[in-house]
Amino acid sequence: MLLSVKTGELENNLNNLWTKRVDKYGTIVAFALAILIFSILSPHFRTVENLINLGLQTSYLLVSALGLTFVAMTGNTDLSLGGVIGLCAAVFAGLLRDGASPLIAVAAGVGIGAFFGVVNGYLVAYRKLSAFIVTVAIMFLTKGIERFYSGGFSIWIRHPAVLSFANGSVGVIPNMVILSLVVLFLAYLFLHQTKKGLHIQAIGQSAETAMMAGIPVQRLKFVAFVIAGIFYALAGIMVSLRSSGTIAYAGDRLLLPTMGVCFVGQTVLGARRPNVPGVLVGALILGAISNAFTLMGIDFYYTPIAQGLVLVIAAAVSTGQKRQIQQEHIS
Task: Please check the confidence at residue 174 and state whether its pLDDT lies above 90.
Answer: yes
Residue 89 vs residue 263, higher pLDDT: 89
Task: Please check the confidence at residue 67 and state whether its pLDDT lies above 90.
Answer: yes
Question: Using an 8 Å Cβ cutoff, are 188 and 37 in contact?
Answer: no
Pick the CATH number of 25-330 from 2.60.470, 1.10.3470, 3.30.70, 1.10.8: 1.10.3470
Taking residues 116-123, report their average pLDDT.
98
Tell me the pLDDT band of 19, cut-offs 50, 70 and 90. Answer: low
Model confidence over 192-203: pLDDT tens digits?
Answer: 899 999 999 999
Model confidence over 272-303: pLDDT tens digits?
Answer: 788 898 899 889 988 888 889 888 888 877 77
Closest CA to 185 of 60, 276, 68, 264: 276
pLDDT at 329: 42
Rounded Cα distance between 229 and 225, Å, is 6
pLDDT at 101: 96
What three-state secondary structure class fits 174?
Answer: strand
DSSP tag of 42: -
Residue 223 vs residue 30, higher pLDDT: 223
Which range among 66-75, 146-155, 180-189, 278-287 shows the weakest confidence by mean pLDDT? Answer: 278-287
Task: Please check the confidence at residue 210 and state whether its pLDDT lies above 80.
Answer: yes
Rounded Cα distance between 124 and 140, Å, is 17
Residue 316 vs residue 95, higher pLDDT: 95
Q: Is the pTM of this model over 0.85?
A: yes
pLDDT at 330: 44
Which range among 11-20, 41-50, 142-151, 176-185 shows the weakest confidence by mean pLDDT? Answer: 11-20
Model confidence over 216-264: pLDDT tens digits?
Answer: 999 999 999 999 999 999 999 999 999 999 998 899 889 989 988 988 8
Question: Cβ of 294: how many Cβ atoms within 10 Å?
Answer: 16
pLDDT at 322: 47
Rounded Cα distance between 90 and 96, Å, is 10
Residues 6+ away with beta carbon under 8 Å from 157: 93, 96, 97, 163, 166, 240, 241, 244, 245
Domain boundaries, the chain: 25-330
Task: Please check the confidence at residue 162 and state whether its pLDDT lies above 80.
Answer: yes
Residue 269 vs residue 18, higher pLDDT: 269
Residue 310 vs residue 8, higher pLDDT: 310
pLDDT at 325: 44
DSSP-assigned letters across all residues of 255-321: HHHHHHHHHHHTTGGG--S--HHHHHHHHHHHHHHHHHHHHTT--TTHHHHHHHHHHHHHHHHHHHH
Mean pLDDT across the chain: 87
pLDDT at 175: 96
pLDDT at 326: 45
